[in-house]
Structure 1
Amino acid sequence: MKAALENYHARMQRVLDHIDQHLDDDLGLEALSGVAAFSKYHFHRQFMSTFGLSVHRYVQLARMKRASHRLAYMDAQSVTDVAMDAGYDAPDAFARAFRQRFGQSPSSFRKSPEWESWFAALGPLDNARSKLMQKSFTTDDVMIRNVAPTPVAIMEHRGDPVMIGATIQRFIAWRKAASLHPKTSPTFTVWRSERRPASPADYSMDLCAGTDQPIEANGEQIKAGEIPGGRCAVLRVVGNTDNLEPAALYLYRDWLPASGEEARDFPIYCQRLSFFPEVPEHEAVAELFLPLK
């Protein structure tokens, strides 16, 4: 029974990966049931029972998520181009669908996203993805690495995590102005609080860009800092890098007690090696670092 269930979940995971990689293609029932090797007459019910969403709604939300990321974080792409990439023949049809989903027009969202509404609208998609994408880690997935110290520019996020998108927008705009491209300047996230503190106002994290150059604030609250060197337990996560909590829990709850190691006095952090929507969501890569004594 366990092997059969694992096979079933693997086939469903294959469907999610296919959707991620082919958002511009035909993603109807017949095509997706073929990817899973299930009968097209039953696949829609199987998908719904597994993920809590219809195939059609899942695909719509996945396309809208990519479109919203491109609007918020990739200002070189026009609204019309984003609409075409989302599978709409005309910007007006895309604008209506976008407004219905997020409560804003695409142009308004690009200028000033209402992140709370965006977060709520995409909740069902994130819940669906988490049902199968919570990977089980083993000790073989963890390596101990000696890390060199990295000077960084830091933009702090303090307060409700729902508003992280706004901080990311400002961080990307500042990096562009400072000519710190992610391909040449490593990207780090440092968590200074729990993922879900008792009060959202207590949430605390730092967005960091590696640089040894003098830092110009350009109107932003930017400060110089350092990711310290030393020994770290490193766990690589591929896919669903929006939520690294399962990986962090594995390091703290399972790996650390069994390893005999002790954590060093610096927060857990990650380096983001590839980003959605520049790559399909299941191909995004992050490495989680737990500093050790």
Structure 2
Amino acid sequence: MNDRLKAQYSARLRRVCDHIERHLDAPLSLESLSQMAYCSPFHFHRQFTAWCGMPLYRYIQWLRLRRASWRLAFNPQDKVIDIALDAGFQNPESFTRAFKMAFGQSPRQFRQQPDWRAWHQRMPMMNIKGQKNMDVTLVDFPRTPVALLQHRCNPELVNYSAAKFILWRKETGLSPVAQSATFGIAWDDPQTTPPEAFRFDICGSVNAPVPENAHGVINGEIPAGRCAVVRHHGSLDTVGESVWSLFRDWLPGSGETPRDFPVFFQYHNFVNEVAEHELQTDIYLPLQ
């Protein structure tokens, strides 16, 4: 197969994956998806498995279980039966069996004490598309006092810290999500930093100093200064691609010099609230 045909072939399957990611709540039949790829159901099923590394039905189920896990962990008000039905299962029993087989915990066990390390180890590499086009703008970012929780361990465990910060927010009301901005400060690259040395700060803007507390949330600030900012659309699994594109493709021709402060993110919505393709995250590169 020549390069042109390979590109066409990959583009068709990528279009199918995009459709699946955007319609996880809808029926997704082999027949309808194969039509999108201009292929017979029989050949499409084999082509998708070869291209993706897993059968179509397993790919869809993994994406649905992936979304269900975030709702279980961060949306305690959502009933398990509703999460099961939204994930395409006929009843909670079949959902429980599939979830436990996938992650090693039942949905209720995961809700009470999620094992994020096992979650990452068991989750297959999903063929989620990164962002190609980026519209970079320059802004003057204002000095922003924040409540800050330091994550200082394996990046696969960052959801533990996120849950702790969410609990602090709910218990104190000092950084309500509806009125406060949510940030993440990326001191290290998870791809090149040993897990035990990884550093990441989870932050929420505040209007008053944070008192001492049992959660380990402290006072901090994001300093004022010029920044290049680009909006990343979609899964946070691919946000690193957008960060590197900012450094690799934009920075060399911009005439700008990075400032001595790490890249940081502003999260405009969260994966337990919206579908992954609807996530919007601003990436800030501090400049001199």
TM above 0.5? yes
Indicate how the Cα distance of structure 1 residues 116 and 155 shifts in structure 2: closer, same or farther if over 3 A, else same: same
Q: Which amino acid aligns with 2:132?
A: S
Aligned partners of 1:176, 1:30: CA distance in 2, in Å? Answer: 46
Alpha-carbon distance in structure 2 between the residues aligned to 1:96 and 1:39: 32
Matching of residues 1-293 of structure 1 within 5 Å? 8-125=9-126, 128-129=127-128, 133-137=129-133, 141-179=135-173, 180-216=175-211, 218-293=213-288
Q: Is the 8 A contact 1:178 1:216 kept in 2?
A: no
- What is the TM-score of this pair, normalised by structure 2? 0.91
Aligned-partner Cα distance in 2 for 1:282–1:208: 23
Amino acid in the other structure paired with 1:185? S
Mean CA deviation greater in 232-241 or 179-188: 179-188
Confirm or deny: 8 A CA contact 2:186 2:263 kept in the other structure. yes
How big is the shift at 1:115? Answer: 1.2
Distance (Å, rounded) in 2 between the aligned partners of 1:177 and 1:3 = 57
> Which piece of structure 1 moves more, 116-125 or 228-237?
116-125
Matched pairs, number: 286
**Maintained 8 Å contact 1:137/1:250:** no
Q: Secondary structure at the match of 2:261?
A: coil
Is the contact made by 2:183 and 2:265 (CA closer than 8 Å) also made in structure 1?
Answer: yes
- In 2, Cα distance between the equivalents of 1:27 and 1:291? 43
What secondary structure does 2:220 align onto? strand
Residues 218, 83 of structure 1: alpha-carbon distance in 2 compared, 3 angstrom cutoff: farther
Please, which moves more after superposition, 195-204 or 230-239? Answer: 195-204
SS state at 1:235 partner: strand
Q: What fraction of aligned residue pairs are identical, expressed as a percent?
A: 40
Report the residue type matching 2:35 in the other structure: G
**Distance (whole Å) between structure 1 residues aligned to residue 211 and residue 88 of structure 2:** 40
1:12-47 CA distance string (max 9 Å, x none): 333223222322221121122234443323221222
Unaligned runs of 5+ residues in structure 2 are: none
Report deviation, 1:89.
2.1
Alpha-carbon distance in 1 for matches of 2:5, 2:222: 45
- Aligned equivalents of 1:85, 1:64: Cα separation in 2: 10
* Matches of 2:230 and 2:15, distance apart in 1: 23
Does structure 1 conserve the Cα–Cα contact (< 8 Å) formed by 2:152 and 2:199? yes
Q: 1:217 to 1:9 in 2, by over 3 A?
A: farther
Q: Which runs of 5+ in 1 are unaligned?
A: none
2:18 partner amino acid? D
TM-score computed with the length of structure 1 as normaliser: 0.89
